[in-house]
Structure 1
Amino acid sequence: MVGHIASALAVLGLCLSLTHAAHILAVFSYSFPAPFLLVAPYMKALVQNGHQLTIVSSYNHLEDIEGVRHIRIKLMDQLLNDLLDFDFEGTYPLSKWGKSSIISTFFRNSSYYILSDPKVQGLLRDPNEHFDMIIVQASHTDALYGFAQHFKAPLVGLSAYGTAWNIDYLAGNKAPSVYEPMQPEGYSNGISMFDRFTNWVYITEEWLIDSMVFLPKQVHLYKHFFNRPAESLYEIRHNFSLMLINHHFSLGRARSNVPNVIEIAGMHMNGFIEDLEPELQRFMDEAVDGVIYFSMGLEIVNKWLPPHMLKILEEAFEQLPWHIIWKSELENPIHKSDKIYMKQMLPQRKLLSHPNLKLFITHGGILSIIEAAFSGVPMICVPMYYDQFGNAERMRQAGVAQVLDIGTMTVESTLQAIKEVIENPTYAQKAKQMATRLRDQPMTPLETAVWWTEYVIRHKGAPHMRLSDQDISFMQYYSLDIISMLFGRIGLSIILLSCFSVKLFKLLKKPFQMRLYHIP
C-alpha cells in the first residue's frame, strides 16, 4: 500500500515538474457571492502550485489571495445592487424573451464594467503583459473571451452553476443533450418521443434567444474594446481548451462529455469548515429526535420570499416535533420557540455533517445540493429560478428529495413532504448511497481541476482534446439520418400502398359499373 502511494506521489510530482510556472489571467464577472466559494480554492491551489495569477473580479466577494495581483471592479457590486433594486412590479408576466432581455442587459453591463476599467485597459495596452492562460466565467460573457485572442493564450471556462446546452456548445459539442435547457419554464422532463421533440423545439428557441438577444450585445463590446471583427469572436467561441463544470455524474445525471469537459462538483469542499458556536452546538446535540435545517442560500434573503411562504413555514414548523434551524436575516419572522434557532449566517457544511440533522429544506442551488449530497442528507427543494428547478428535479428522480412549488405550496403539502422525507427511511438510504458515490473519486475535485488546468498548459492548449466538427454531425448525433431514412421508407411505403389501393379500387369499381350498365 505504501509503495502504491509513493508511486502515485512520484507520478504527480513528475507532472507538476513538467508544468512551468504559468502566468494566468482569471476574469470573473460574477456579481453574487456563491460562485466565489468555488473560485477561491481553485485560485489558491494554482498559486500554491507556483503559478502567477492576475484576477479581475467584483470588489467585495473574493478575499485577497497572497501572491495574486487583484484588479477589483467596484461597479460590479453596484450592478448587483441595481438588479436587487429593480422594480419588477408591472412587468409580469414575463416571457422568456422578456426575461432574457433583462438578464442579457445585466451580463452586458458586467462585461462593459470590466473592459472599461482603467486597470484592465492598462493590461490590454501594455506590450510587456503576457499570459499563458485565460480563465473566464463560461456563460453569457462572450466579450471577455477576447482576452484569450489578445494575449494569444488558451481559453478555460468555469461553469459554477453546472451546465446546459450552451456550455456544451462552447466546449465543442455542437449537438448537446436536448434535455438540459438554460431556463426550465415550460420544459418537460418526460422521455417520450413527443417530449423529446417539444424539448428540442424549446431549446431551439433558447438558441435563437442566445443568438438574437445575448450575443449581439457582447459582440458590440468585443468589437469596441478589442477592435476586431465579429467573426474573430465566433472563432474564439469555438476554441475553449477546457471547460470545468460544477457537476458530477453521481448527482443523478450522467452526461456524454467530450474530453475537454471536466466535472469538478465539490471543488469548494476542500476549504476550511467553520465550527459551530457553543450555543448552536448544544442545540444540535440536545435535539435527539432530530433537526430540520432551512436555508435559501447566500443570495436569497427571507425578505424577498413571498409572504405566504414564510407564513406557511411558520405554521408548519410549529406543528412539527423536530427542532428547526432557520437561516434568516429577519429579527422575528415567527413566534419565539425553544425548538427554533435563527441566525443570518450559519456554517452550513458543519450543520449538514451533524448526525442529528434529518432534513435540509433548500432552494436547490447547486452548491447546497452538492454539500447535502456529500453529507448524505435528504432534501426538500423549493426552487425559485434558473438552474434550481433542474437541480431539484434530479434530486427528486434520484429518490433523495421531495419538491415543493413555491406558488402552490400549502401548510398541508409542506407537512406531508417533511414527514414523508423524514419518516420514510428510503430517502435517507438513497442519500447515503449518493454520498458514497460522490466521495468515491481517484482525486479530490479540486485536484482534478488543477491537474487538467496544468495539462492544458503543458500541452499548449491541448487542441487534441476537442471534438472535431467532422467527427459527428448534428444529424448523426440526434440520429436524424436514421429517422429521416426510417420515415422516408415509411412514407414511400405509404405512397406505394395508397397508389396500389387506388388502382385496386378502380379495377374493382369498373366491373361493378359495367354490371349496373347492363341491368334491363
Structure 2
Amino acid sequence: MFSGPGIAGLLLTVLLFGLLCPKLTNAENILAVFSYTFGSSYLLITPFLRNLVQRGHQLTLISAVTIMPHIEGVHHIRVPKLDMLMKILLDFEYDTDLTKWTEAQFLSEYFYNCSKFVLEDPGVQELLRNASAKYSLIILEASHNDALYGFSQHFNAPLLGVAAYGSSWNIDFLVGNSAPSVYEPMSALGYTSGLNLIEKWHNLIYITEERLVERFIYLPRQIDLYKQHFPGATTSIHDLRRRFSLVLINQHFTMGRVRSNVPNIVEVAGMHLDEKPYPLDAELKKILDEAEHGVIYFSMGLQLLDHWLPPGMRASMSDAFAQLKQQVIWKTDYPEMVNQSRNVFARTWFPQRAILNHPNVKLFITHAGLLSLIESVHYAVPLLCIPLFYDQFQNTKRMEKLGVARKLDFKNLFRDEIVLAIEDLVYNASYKRNARDLSQRFHDQPMSAMDTAIWWTEYILRHKGADHMRIAEQEMSLMQYYNVDVVSVLFGRIGLSAIIVIFLGWKLVSLATRHLEYRLNVPMVR
C-alpha cells in the first residue's frame, strides 16, 4: 500500500511530467508549401510551423529564401526564384485604377510564376522523385496556387489550407461553404455591404464576374502546371480543390464578420501573436515615453511599397502631421524625405506590436491590412484607415461599423480633412472606449488562436484527414446543393397557384364579357 505522502509525491511527479512534456501526440511527417513572396504572410505561418515542430512533428518546408526565417528542426527547401519574383514586384509601378480584368491578368501571371518556380526548383523535383518520402499532411496557402494541390495527390495526403487574408467566396467554395457566398466579392471594385436585396444582387453579379475571372484566367495556367509536373495524377485539379480537410482562416467573428462556417473552417485570427514581439530600442522608447500629447503611429504595412502610393499622399500626410500636437512615428521607405517636421520620427521599419502596446499610442493610421487590424484590436488602438486594395476596403467598413475607426479616401487626401479625422479619433473618447470593448471580446476565447490551430491540425492527423468533417457536396446533385429542388417546389407551387388564379380570373372576365354582350344584343321587350 502507498502511504499518503507517497501518493502525493507520485501525483506531483505525474503533474510535472504532464506540464514539462507537452509532446503527447503521435509525431507525423508534414509537408508545408508556401510560395509567398512578401514577409507579412510569413509572420502568420512561422509561429504556427514552429509550434508543430515543438509538438514533435517532422516538418519539411518549401518556401522563399530571404523572407522566411530559419526554424530549428525543420528541413528547409529554399526556392531562390521566389525571391527573384519579389524583386520584380518591388520595381512594379502599381496602378490603382486598373480594371478588374486587367488586374486579374497581372495577378494570374504572378501566381502562375509562384507555382511554377516552386515546382521547377531542383530541390522540390528531388523531393517528388524520392520514392521513400511519405507525408501525413500537406499544408499550403488555400487559394490561387492550385497547381500546388498536386502535392496532396502525389503523396496521397490530406490538404490543410491557411487563408492568410481571411476568407472570401473562393475559400468557401473549396469547402462547400455556400451560405456566405453572396455577401462579399474579393475585389474592392463593386463591393457593397450586402445589407439589402439590391446590394446582395449587386454583390452576386460581381462574384459571378470574379468566378469567371478565376475560371478563365487563373485556373487554366495552373491546370497546365499541374498536368506538367504531376503527369501520373489520377485526380483532376477540380476534384482536388474540393478535398480540403481543414482551412484555418485568419479572422474572428468578434471583428465584425459573423459567418455560418462548416466544421472544417476554423477561425484563428491572432495566431501570429503567439510570437514574442520585437522590443523597443532605447531611442524609440524614449520618444514614446516622453510624448506629452501622445503618439500617432503611421504605417501602410510591410508589403505595400511607398512608390505604389497615390501621388501627393506623402506630401498631404506631412502637411497634416505638421499641424498636430502629437508625436508621429512614421514607417516609410524614404525616411529622409519626411523626417523634417519637429514632431515626426521616421524609419524604414518599426516593431509595430511593441509600439501599439505602448500606453501613449492614441491612434494607428493604417492601410487596414488584416494583420495590422488584428494587432490594433488586440492592443485596443483606434484606427484611421486608408484602404488601397482588395480586403482592405471590407476590413475598413467593419472597423467603422464597430465604432473604432474612420476612413479616408486615398484618391482625395487633403491636409485639413486628415487633421479633422485625426483630431476626432484622438479626442472623441468613444473610439477608445469601443476599441477597449472590442479588444475584451476578442480576448475572451476558450483557447488561444495558436492552440486552436494546433488542436485542429492534430485532429486532422489523428483522424486521417477527418473526411467526416467535410460537407458531402460531392454526394449531392447540383440541384440539391444549390437548393434548386426546394426553390423549384416553392416557386412551382406559387406559379401553379398564380396560373390557377389567372385562369379563373380570365374565365370570370370572359363569362362576364359574354354575359354583357348577350344583354346588349337582346332586343328590349315593350
Q: What is the TM-score when the length of structure 1 is the normalising length? A: 0.91
SS in 2 for 1:336: coil
Alignment match, 2:409:
405
Contact 2:184 2:193 in 1 (8 A): no
Q: Does 1:381 align with 2:375?
A: no
Question: What is the aligned partner in structure 2 of residue 34 from structure 1?
Answer: 40
Matches within 5 A, 1:185-196: 185-196=189-200
Partner of 1:456: 460
Give the 3-state SS of the residue equivalent to 1:136 in structure 2. strand
**AA of the residue aligned to 1:24:** I
Equivalent runs, 1:80-95 vs 2, <5 Å:
80-87=86-93, 94-95=98-99
Rg larger for: 2
Answer yes or no: is the 8 Å Cα contact 1:303–1:330 preserved in 2: no
Deviation of residue 179 (structure 1)? 1.2
In structure 2, the partner of 1:469 is: 473
Contact 1:159 1:246 (8 Å CA) reproduced: yes
- The one-letter amino acid paired with 2:368 is G
* Mapped partners of 2:431, 2:481: distance in 1: 36
> Residue 367 of structure 2 contacts residue 385 of structure 2 at CA under 8 Å; is this kept in 1?
yes
CA offset digits 1:435-459 (Å, max 9, x no partner) = 1111122222112111111111111
1:236 aligns with one of 211, 236, 240: 240
Distance 2:15 2:114 in 1: 43
Cα shift readout 1:351-399 (whole Å, capped 9, x = no counterpart):
1111111111100111000000000111011111122111111111111
**Which of 424, 427, 443 lines up with 1:423 in the alignment?**
427
Confirm whether residue 75 of structure 1 aligns to residue 104 of structure 2: no
The range that moved more, 189-198 or 54-63, is 189-198
**Separation (CA, whole Å) in 2 of partners of 1:384 and 1:333:** 22
Separation in 1, partners of 2:15, 2:326:
47
Distance 1:482 1:54 in 2: 47
Offset from partner CA, 1:134-193 (integer Å, 9 cap, x none)? 111111111111111111112111111111111122223255432132222112213111
TM-superposed CA distance for 1:12, in Å, is 8.9
**Could you give the per-residue CA deviations for residues 101-126 of structure 1, whole angstroms, max 9, x where no partner exists?**
11111111111111111110100111
Distance in 2 separating the partners of 1:175 and 1:217 = 29
- Which residue of 2 is the match for residue 257 of structure 1? 261
Q: Separation in 2 of the partners of 1:288 and 1:500?
A: 82
- Which residues of 2 match residues 160-171 of structure 1 at below 5 A? 160-171=164-175
Once the two structures are TM-superposed, the CA of residue 232 in structure 1 deviates from its matched residue by 2.8
Going from structure 1 to structure 2, the CA distance change for 1:472 and 1:274 (only over 3 Å counts) comes to: same
Map 1:134-145 → 2, pairs under 5 A: 134-145=138-149
1:113 to 108, 117, 140: 117
Higher RCO, 1 vs 2 (CA within 8 Å, ≥6 residues apart)? 1
- Trace 1:263-412 onto structure 2 (pairs within 5 A): 263-334=267-338, 336-412=340-416
Counterpart amino acid of 1:257? N
**Residue identity matched to 1:325:** I
2:55 is equivalent to residue 49 of structure 1: yes
Are the counterparts in 1 of residues 179 and 260 from structure 2 also a CA contact under 8 Å?
no
Q: Which amino acid aligns with 1:57?
A: S
C-alpha distance in 1 between matches for 2:20 and 2:239: 36
In angstroms, what is the RMSD of aligned CA positions? 2.7
Do the aligned partners of 1:174 and 1:474 also contact (CA within 8 Å) in 2? no
Amino acid of the residue matched to residue 53 of structure 1?
A: L
Q: How does 1:2-17 map to 2 (within 5 A)?
A: 16-17=23-24
* CA–CA distance in structure 2, aligned partners of residues 375 and 478 of structure 1: 42
Count matched residues: 513
Deviation at 1:408, TM superposition (A): 2.4
Say which is worse superposed, 140-149 or 487-496, in terms of deviation.
Answer: 487-496
Give the whole-Å Cα distance in 2 for the aligned partners of 1:385 and 1:9: 50
Report how far residue 292 of structure 1 moved: 1.1
Aligned partners of 1:47 and 1:67 also within 8 Å: yes
Q: What is the deviation of 1:507?
A: 4.0
Q: 1:261 to 1:15 in 2, by over 3 A?
A: farther
Unaligned 5+ runs, structure 2: 1-11
Q: Given that residues 385 and 405 in structure 2 are in contact (C-alpha distance below 8 angstroms), is that contact kept between their aligned partners in structure 1?
A: yes
2:135 aligned residue: 131
Distance 1:398 1:474, change over 3 A: farther
Whichever residue aligns with residue 94 of structure 1, its letter is L
Would the aligned equivalents of 1:175 and 1:478 in 2 still touch at CA under 8 Å?
Answer: no
Task: Please state if 1:155 is matched with 2:188.
Answer: no
Q: Which amino acid aligns with 1:209?
A: V
Structure 1 residue runs without a partner (length 5+): none
Inter-CA distance 9–360: structure 2 relative to 1 (3 Å threshold): farther
TM-superposed CA distance for 1:6, in Å, is: 12
Distance in structure 2 (CA, Å) of the matches to 1:221 and 1:285: 54
Q: Which residue of 2 aligns with 1:207?
A: 211
Residue deviations 1:251-272, cap 9 Å, x none?
A: 1111111111111111111112
Instruction: Using the TM superposition, give the Cα deviation of residue 484 of structure 1 relative to its aligned residue in structure 2, in angstroms.
Output: 4.8
Contact 2:184 2:191 (8 Å CA) reproduced? no
1:20 partner letter: N
In 2, the alpha carbon distance for the partners of 1:392 and 1:386 equals 11
AA matched with 2:319: E
1:58 to 33, 57, 64: 64
Q: Distance between the aligned counterparts of 1:471 and 1:9, measured in 2?
A: 48
* 2:78 partner SS: strand
Alignment equivalent of 2:28, drawn from 15, 22, 34: 22
Which amino acid is the alignment partner of residue 55 of structure 2? N
Aligned with 1:307: secondary structure? coil
Q: Which moved more, 1:421-430 or 1:227-236?
A: 227-236
Q: CA deviation at 1:11?
A: 8.5
Aligned residue identity for 1:309: M
